[in-house]
Structure 1
């Protein structure tokens, strides 16, 4: 049964069973996360929680249905009014019709030339829109972690390491880039901050180009004109983006390489690996893959896992088509190239780069304690809830592994931040195996503590509200229960310089305090304005919009679901990479920094969903 809305031709289709269950699950997750984000506990599962879940289900289902209606309305045309030629997925080149107003010389230009011209024009317009933020935040915002990295590059003790040692707690590549630009500014301009200013301005220009290229690419693959205009307007006018990219932090540097890499990855999937026939494309793809993997810790896993998944591109179509369509030999060769790309990237990032940098700088490779952040937080909650149910042997193993002993966990524990119970390194990493055994045994004895700890720590990615407390130190459960005030769970910006003790030993980092105050007022205004403030909710970007993309993908697509998921692999891995973090509720800007990528990735995927170009050749053939 379908509902046609008047004379518009818009058809509102009822949800499938899978879509209904997806929205029901999503509503329940949000309701549970809301409670955990305020009380640090999911219980009790009372009538109030179920009533909120029902309300959320109705709103979420309506949102997804209307969104699907808007995304899939009408036929998706393949003609392009700006005249960008597109190579169809079957390998044939199709010239898209030009607007009748387009001059003939423009029609004779190559698709690449037209795309570059449009990208440059849009980038100039976007940079103009971002220019007030450049003025207000010039010469750039300094983040706490970045200051530590620069200080270490200059030989100052930081992050628990002695002078002259660079810690691998933060990506070494970022430390080299930040420190290198600071040193260049000192040598060429007599001021290290001048070099960092050049870096942040280059970063702004590069992001304008990268985001404009995303807009042009969305149009290139078939997104309607209105959709790409909306995409451009969001990139150009949503304040968080220029504020963040005027910041010196590893995630902003990562975006410079991740966005063009993502476009190349999507194009590789769309072309069913045929893009890898081009040597220059493949070389550029490898280079961007390496740079994307080196600039954040999670970037390596996102990039590597996505690249490894390329060997499965087109298998559904290949297995279901005729023998003439399958071309198994050609696809096998291309899959071999894709596998080679993945292996080369992994070797360069994990073997070659550490070997080269280790010969130049004194680098201390930290313990891989990041994988234990969430488990140790669960252990701390277990100790808090059941202090008398920890054996002497278990206590010895935990105390030997971790720098924070069992006796101190109750005093320092914060249900929304794992840093107090997990320091930068482990006391004795050889006890990891024994700790895993202890962790499993305690989880079997009292799974409720583990569930409450995990849900509380991760609640910020899914909740619409959060506790009003903002302590980054100890936060007792009794305090939360006695004062259960809640506030909207919104993205938190860093609108001023955060100077670490180690960076404070360098010459003073100057900032535009009046301009920073203006930026903070702008963000406060956006965060409090009706409708517009919905875009500032963390869960909108980390859960609700990704859920909407899945909602649209699962309606009757058959084999096409797998192909869409393959295109969305970087998004999926990026979302999963949020879970091992030590914070989700923005008690400090770090939590919001982890989700910034979603503000430029998810809108692109929505535009691609609107585009006919993201469909597989098999899907087009079946239609």
Structure 2
């Protein structure tokens, strides 16, 4: 028992955070159960898939424990680290100076750890969208806005560099090296920032090790793709946003910080539009929380407005006009309602009367959507949308259909989001473009962009992305090491990095602060917005996990940022701006 005469005696972790331990146990149970249900839907498009995956009640129970116990252990371990920050003395709560030595060492360690992987997979690889962008860059197919033109220009500059060097493969490799250097510097900044706000050495070192050695990080690094490119400015934007929150927006008084903030958000927006939606949703949440706390929001909204004007009002229109890019509509945000309605009408063709069916037909070609329906991906069904602007007038049909057939709606939704909750499905990037993008089936699809098959074959050969035979021994050795992590799918699963990690952090913040200090809602706005974007997306794809994975250490640092930012702001106008120079 702690006596009043010894107030300095620290309370034990269990005694101080019994509420969090209980909440972590409940959360672990819920996520483990969701993971099992997710695997059932992934296997058989139904909850009945549990029997197919696990075979018996004993198998289900074992699977549950193998998921719940590690999650609970991770939660308790993180809770212990987070609780230590609340026991530090007052002088440790102010942010420390930027550790330039740590930044340099972390960047070097991370890059050198990736280097063997990058060299072994020379010249690097690309995803299907990137190949389509190559066709646009070389004038084989007109530009269109489904793929950000800014990314196409960046990639094209390196392809043209390869042409000057006499090898497009060399241009691709140059891009991979530059991307790896920029990523290493960005991740080193995250580790150094965690150190700056008082995170324990174990978390800082663990962050460097995670960025250097985790397969969910090094696998996309050697890939030319809009997702890997966008991950760099998005991570920097999140770091700067967290510093602005931590300092009660005082950091935005620094001109260099403002410039860095705007630049990071602009580059994030023009390299992948989905991340602009995530950023805007997060900023809206922050603004609402701050207004509820009677804190100023003008500096944040001003920076956001300037960024949107530059990205959407100036840069994007100018670049699109320069290449005469045609605008093509996208319907990702309709994925869930479309899947729900199409699945229901496929199962119950007479669920709608003639009048409702005619009205819904103004929004989507129902018959064709039912024929091409894919339970796990909405691209086929949303490709049948006739006029996206007609969806609002069909809201009553969507709601009424769901009220009548909730089971079909639930099954359609679970199929779309199941992988994000899976603790068994590994995030697995491919590294053989020849085997993935240029298979016979793929080549039959790509040939539609060319006049003849010979032209397609010649263009693919000019990219020269096939793995080098002389590097096979090194590549095989590294793939063997990589398989060690892959054979433990929990550690590289979608559910762990995209769902469990932010929810564990949110649970700790809620149990620690409750309604007393709502700043944690500002920090959690980014991961919550990311989760929302994943759940409404058209497919659970490994590329879409990149933002969540890249900023995971920042999310785990939220409790330390909360403590580091605990200071009294008596007068915003007279308070001195913090030293943010080294952050930018």
Q: Same fold (TM over 0.5)?
A: yes
Question: 2:19 maps to which residue?
Answer: 15
Is 1:525 paired with 2:484?
Answer: yes
Shift in Å, 1:275: 0.6
User: Aligned equivalents of 1:59 and 1:239: distance in 2?
Assistant: 19
Is 1:494 paired with 2:499?
Answer: no
Summarize the alignment of residues 478-557 of structure 1 with structure 2, pairs less than 5 Å apart: 488-497=424-433, 498-499=437-438, 501=446, 502=449, 506=459, 507-513=462-468, 514=472, 519-529=478-488, 533-557=489-513
Contact 1:228 1:607 in 2 (8 A): no
Question: 1:599 maps to which residue?
Answer: 549
Deviates more, 1:561-570 or 1:437-446: 437-446
User: Aligned equivalents of 2:563 and 2:130: distance in 1?
Assistant: 40
Summarize the alignment of residues 142-181 of structure 1 with structure 2, pairs less than 5 Å apart: 142-157=126-141, 165-181=142-158
Question: 1:65 maps to which residue?
Answer: 76
Instruction: Give the 3 Å change call, closer, same or farther, for CA 78–285 of structure 1 in structure 2.
Output: farther
Deviates more, 1:598-607 or 1:375-384: 598-607
Greater share of residues in helix: 2
Structure 1 vs Structure 2 CA RMSD = 3.5
Give the alignment partner of residue 581 of structure 1, picking from 526, 531, 537.
537
User: Aligned equivalents of 2:393 and 2:246: distance in 1?
Assistant: 46
Question: 1:199 maps to which residue?
Answer: 175
Question: 2:194 maps to which residue?
Answer: 218
Per-residue CA distance 1:158-195 (angstroms, 9 max, x = gap): xxxxxxx2121122221222223323433x32444433
Question: 1:442 maps to which residue?
Answer: 401
Shift in Å, 1:218: 0.5
Shift in Å, 1:455: 1.1
State how many pairs are aligned: 531
Per-residue CA distance 1:214-233 (angstroms, 9 max, x = gap): 11111111011222111111
User: Aligned equivalents of 2:546 and 2:253: distance in 1?
Assistant: 33
Using structure 2 for the length normalisation, give the TM-score.
Answer: 0.81
Instruction: Give the 3 Å change call, closer, same or farther, for CA 566–608 of structure 1 in structure 2.
Output: closer
Give the alignment partner of residue 452 of structure 1, picking from 411, 430, 439.
411
Instruction: Give the 3 Å change call, closer, same or farther, for CA 518–417 of structure 1 in structure 2.
Output: farther
Summarize the alignment of residues 291-330 of structure 1 with structure 2, pairs less than 5 Å apart: 291-311=267-287
Give the alignment partner of residue 565 of structure 1, picking from 502, 521, 524.
521
Deviates more, 1:346-355 or 1:199-208: 346-355
Is 1:250 paired with 2:226?
Answer: yes
Unaligned runs of 5+ in 2: 3-8, 450-455, 570-584
User: Aligned equivalents of 2:109 and 2:90: distance in 1?
Assistant: 25
User: Aligned equivalents of 1:570 and 1:74: distance in 2?
Assistant: 22
Instruction: Give the 3 Å change call, closer, same or farther, for CA 581–430 of structure 1 in structure 2.
Output: closer
User: Aligned equivalents of 2:124 and 2:271: distance in 1?
Assistant: 19
Per-residue CA distance 1:589-608 (angstroms, 9 max, x = gap): xx111112222311232244
Question: 1:129 maps to which residue?
Answer: 113
Instruction: Give the 3 Å change call, closer, same or farther, for CA 181–338 of structure 1 in structure 2.
Output: same
Contact 2:270 2:316 in 1 (8 A): no
User: Aligned equivalents of 1:352 and 1:10: distance in 2?
Assistant: 56
Query: Helix, strand or coil: the match of 2:551?
Result: helix
Per-residue CA distance 1:32-52 (angstroms, 9 max, x = gap): 434333332347999969978
Instruction: Give the 3 Å change call, closer, same or farther, for CA 611–252 of structure 1 in structure 2.
Output: same
Shift in Å, 1:208: 0.6
User: Aligned equivalents of 2:353 and 2:291: distance in 1?
Assistant: 52
Shift in Å, 1:61: 4.7
Contact 1:397 1:431 in 2 (8 A): no
Query: Helix, strand or coil: the match of 1:617?
Result: coil
User: Aligned equivalents of 1:51 and 1:119: distance in 2?
Assistant: 45
